[in-house]
Structure 1
Amino acid sequence: MSQAAYVFDAYGTLFDVHAAVRRHAERAGPDYQLFSEIWRAKQLEYSWVRSLMGAYADFWALTEQALDYSFARVKSVDPSLRGDLLDAYRTLDCYPEVPAVLKGLKARGARVAILSNGSPEMLSAAVANSALETVIDDIFSVDAVKIFKTAPAVYELVTTAYRLYPQAVSFQSSNRWDVAGATRFGFRTVWINRNNLPDEYGDYGPSLILPSLEAL
């Protein structure tokens, strides 16, 4: 099915959220994977809690707070790595298939965009680092509405800007909770299940499940 717009979540979908710690794995030590997982989990938890409280802080602030919590939890990782890890997070690696997939969609005449919890500055840095500027038409950040996914106002950023019905948008995310929110909003959703995780949110299932973006 051809869609008018292909909209992508950023972190975990286009960009590898664990690449920052992996770059410094040797210095971080044997617990680097646990450290990275806690960092990511807390980053998301803080976004949901703040949305429910109505106490918005941008995603970069939450990323810093989650990192500090991770240092407190995983004592084997030296806190002197803080600056290097934050620098690495600004320039996360994209997944290998991303450039070719986005170029292919653009060649088919589709609009290509990002819809992310990330702050505009974070997203611009990540896009530039992977040289994706020429294949991404628009970057939509929750900063415009001051609430995080899965609030309907976030997904509405796309339909308002593009003057499209939700079903004309194909939304891709590796985060199953994000897919559930986008499905509830009315997008055609594709879950990029990179880690072969079990399904959840059965009442808001994706239109398609793929192991990577390659089959789009």
Structure 2
Amino acid sequence: MTPSVYVFDAYGTLFDVHAAARAHASALGPDAAALSALWRRKQLEYSWTHALMGDWRDFWTLTERALDHALATFPSVPREARVTLLDSYWTIDCYDEVPSVLHALKARGGRIALLSNGTRAMLDAAVKRAGLDMLIDDVFSADAVCRYKTDPALYEMVTTGYRLYPEAVSFQSANRWDVAGAACFGFRTVWINREAQADEYPDHAPDLILPSLKSLEMHA
């Protein structure tokens, strides 16, 4: 069955969360890559921890706190880099292939949506900066339900919003845990395995694994 809608995760899938650290590597010093990895890891960890506690904090707040922890862990990185790195989330780079892939899906008549833990303001800024605002039809943010992936309430926003059964949705994410949550919900899932990682959720396998988004249009 041809999907009625193509839903994409944002961070790590369409947008490169480590682009800022690479761009400012000379100013950040030798721990730039390690700081960026810890920042991302804590950003996600905090979302899950607060969700389990029932203590909602929006994704921007968690992004700030995660960076503060990473900076404290790597004192070699200048503290003044905090502003530059946080600003990067409002001007975050998309992966090179993203515009052409979305153009191709759009040309086929596909409906395209974003489903992310990010705040609506963060996502709108990233989409506009990347020039994707004419390609993405809808943006679904965790803010709307005060829950984080992999809570089914996130994925249900799509089926409720479009009045579709889950199997009519093709969901693309570079985050394996996100793919597992979407598969458990009933979406058709595509794991964009950019780093050739080993699988870790065998009970909720993706329908397709790709090394990037480049060939998605051939399999869609």
Range of TM-score over shorter length = over 0.9
Question: Which residue in the other structure is 1:109 paired with?
Answer: 109
SS of equivalent residue, structure 2 residue 106:
helix
Match of 2:62 in 1: 62
Q: Report the Cα distance in structure 1 between the residues aligned to 2:138 and 2:45, rounded to whole angstroms.
A: 26
Q: Secondary structure at the match of 1:164?
A: coil
The C-alpha deviation readout for 1:50-85, integer Å capped at 9, x for no partner, is 110111111000000000000110111011111111
SS in structure 1 of the partner of residue 99 of structure 2: helix
SS state at 1:79 partner: coil
* SS of structure 2 residue aligned to 1:125: helix
Aligned position for 1:46: 46
Instruction: Using the TM superposition, give the Cα deviation of residue 195 of structure 1 relative to its aligned residue in structure 2, in angstroms.
Output: 0.3
Does residue 34 (structure 1) correspond to residue 34 (structure 2)? The answer is: yes
In 2, Cα distance between equivalents of 1:209 and 1:111: 21
Aligned residue identity for 2:166: P
Q: CA deviation at 1:23?
A: 1.8
Tell me the residue number matched to 2:90.
90
Counterparts of 1:1-216 in structure 2, within 5 Å, are 1-216=1-216
Distance 1:215 1:200 in 2: 23
Number of residue pairs aligned between Structure 1 and Structure 2: 216
Q: Given the two structures, how large is their TM-score scaled by the length of structure 1?
A: 0.99
Quote the Cα distance in structure 2 between the aligned partners of 1:125 and 1:119: 10
Gaps of 5+ in 2: none
1:100-141 C-alpha deviation (Å, 9 max, x unpaired): 000110111111000000000000111011000000000000
Q: Secondary structure at the match of 1:78?
A: coil
Task: Give the 4+ runs in structure 1 shifted more than 6 A.
Answer: none
- Other structure's SS at 2:89 match: helix
Tell me the TM-score normalised to structure 2 length: 0.97
2-side partners of 1:71 and 1:20: how far apart? 15
Please give the alpha-carbon distance, in whole angstroms, between the structure 2 residues aligned to 1:91 and 1:51: 27
Aligned AA for 2:198?
A: P
SS of the aligned residue for 2:80 comes to: helix
Structure 2 distance, partners of 1:95, 1:77, is 26
Q: Tell me, what secondary structure is at the counterpart of 1:161?
A: helix
Unaligned runs of 5+ residues in structure 1 are none
CA positional deviation for 1:16: 0.2
Give me the whole-angstrom Cα distance separating, in 2, the residues matched to 1:24 and 1:112: 32
